[in-house]
């Protein structure tokens, strides 16, 4: 490097014609610089100089590889959960502004994802124990949820899967609303979880959970709303479409994860019907619960704690929802 600088600075070592060529090259370079500056000035005077560049820019979220499994540290505490949001979500603070894929057919559709429980519920026992009206009775505002033997909380699992599914749905132009996103001291209560879907006029709502059953109880199941007409609850209009949503969700979840339907609940196809869940009773939009597996069973727990498996779960959920939306 030093020898090269010395060679260039010492012009006397070059014959005259090479010095001349150097001068010509420098003059040409100066012309190029001046010409480019003039071109820039012309473009900016046109007023829309920045538009083509912006249009040509790829949106940040669609470029994310599907196998990417960020946010794995989410379960290790609140700080990790926030960090996970920035990387798992489609473009962090800018999410929602990502350019949807053209012609997905899903632009303008709204999906509510409801991550079951809340990691902070355990610090707010009194608040979440308060009873709320679920139409045909009263029930706790919320519960802490379950956890694996090693302490991986259901609330961490549900939020992680919901964020992954949100990213996948938003890539297809779907508007996604989460009922909470590590942004509340506890809850929301089950009645509020339903209300969020209603207010959003969601085309579909899915409450994401993992079960806390006995060892040996394995597999996923989807909970469909029963027909309930009592007090504030009237599910008569959502029973049919919710079953359509649930059937597609079960099928695609099974295909994406390879998990079998529950061996301890439901009809063998992973479908169960319940009338005691406020989140379903109070929903005015098609809604189901998905119990992704049994956190208390070691084999299911090994899947639920695996970030790659959770990405598969999110893909299955996404496909089930989009199949329903394009019926």
Stretch that binds Zn ion, among 86-94, 204-212, 255-263, 277-285 (CB under 5 A): 204-212
* Shortest distance (Å) from residue 210 CB to Zn ion: 7
Query: Closer CB to Zn ion, residue 209 or residue 315?
Result: 209
Stretch that binds Zn ion, among 80-88, 130-138, 140-148, 300-308 (CB under 5 A): 140-148
Nearest partner of 74 among 152, 184, 178, judged by Cα: 152
Stretch that binds Zn ion, among 46-54, 107-115, 137-145, 268-276 (CB under 5 A): 137-145
- Distance between CA atoms of residues 283 and 192, nearest Å: 10
Q: Are strands 271-274 and 175-178 parallel, antiparallel or unpaired?
A: unpaired
* Shortest distance (Å) from residue 291 CB to Zn ion: 7
Q: How many residues bind Zn ion (CB under 5 A)?
A: 3
- Distance between CA atoms of residues 181 and 72, nearest Å: 16
Interacting positions 96-125 with Zn ion (CB under 5 A): 116
Query: Closer CB to Zn ion, residue 98 or residue 178?
Result: 178
Stretch that binds Zn ion, among 95-103, 139-147, 162-170, 186-194 (CB under 5 A): 139-147
Q: What is the CA radius of gyration of the chain?
A: 28
* Shortest distance (Å) from residue 62 CB to Zn ion: 32
Query: Closer CB to Zn ion, residue 153 or residue 174?
Result: 153
Kindly tell me the sign of the dihedral angle through the C-alpha atoms of 73, 76, 80, 82: positive
Which of 124, 163, 166, 209: binder of Zn ion (CB under 5 A)? 209
Which of 70, 89, 100, 145: binder of Zn ion (CB under 5 A)? 145
Nearest partner of 179 among 168, 167, 190, judged by Cα: 190
* Shortest distance (Å) from residue 249 CB to Zn ion: 16
Q: Which residue is nearest to Zn ion (CB)?
A: 209
* Shortest distance (Å) from residue 43 CB to Zn ion: 56
Helix residue spans in the chain (DSSP H)? 2-9, 16-46, 51-56, 78-88, 125-129, 154-171, 190-199, 239-257, 278-281, 298-304, 307-325
Report the SS3 class of residue 96. coil
Strand order from edge to edge, sheet including 175-178: 175-178, 110-115, 204-211, 287-294, 221-225, 271-274
User: 233: burial class by Cβ within 10 Å (0-12, 13-18, 19+)?
Assistant: buried
Query: Closer CB to Zn ion, residue 209 or residue 296?
Result: 209
Query: Closer CB to Zn ion, residue 209 or residue 221?
Result: 209
Query: Closer CB to Zn ion, residue 203 or residue 291?
Result: 291
Binding site for Zn ion (CB under 5 A): 116, 145, 209
């Amino acid at each position: 490097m030093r020898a090269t600088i010395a060679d260039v600075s010492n012009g006397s070592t070059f014959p005259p014609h090479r010095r001349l060529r150097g001068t010509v090259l420098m003059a040409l370079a100066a012309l190029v610089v001046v010409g480019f500056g003039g071109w820039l000035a012309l473009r900016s005077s046109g007023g829309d100089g920045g538009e083509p560049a912006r249009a040509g820019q790829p949106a940040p979220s669609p470029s994310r590889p599907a196998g990417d499994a960020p946010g794995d540290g989410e379960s290790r505490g609140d700080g990790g959960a926030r960090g996970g949001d920035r990387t798992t979500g489609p473009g962090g603070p800018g999410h929602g502004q990502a350019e949807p894929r053209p012609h997905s057919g899903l632009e303008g559709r709204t999906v509510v994802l409801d991550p079951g429980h809340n990691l902070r519920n355990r610090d707010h026992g009194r608040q979440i124990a308060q009873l709320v009206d679920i139409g045909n009775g009263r029930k706790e505002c919320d519960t802490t949820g379950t956890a694996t033997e090693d302490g991986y909380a259901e609330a961490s699992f549900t939020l992680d899967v919901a964020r992954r599914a949100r990213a996948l749905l938003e890539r297809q132009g779907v508007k996604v609303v989460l009922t909470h996103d590590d942004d509340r001291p506890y809850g929301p209560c089950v009645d509020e979880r339903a209300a969020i879907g209603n207010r959003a006029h969601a085309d579909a709502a899915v409450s994401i959970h993992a079960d806390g059953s006995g060892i040996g109880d394995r597999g996923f199941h989807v909970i469909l709303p029963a027909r309930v007409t009592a007090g504030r609850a009237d599910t008569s209009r959502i029973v049919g479409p919710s079953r359509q949503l649930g059937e597609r969700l079960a099928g695609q979840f099974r295909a994406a994860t390879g998990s079998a339907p529950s061996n301890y609940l439901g009809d063998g196809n992973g479908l169960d019907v319940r009338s005691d869940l406020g989140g379903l009773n109070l929903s005015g939009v098609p809604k189901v619960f998905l119990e992704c597996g049994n956190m208390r069973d070691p084999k299911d727990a090994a899947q639920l704690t695996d970030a790659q498996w959770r990405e598969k779960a999110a893909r299955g959920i996404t496909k089930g929802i989009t199949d329903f939306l394009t019926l």
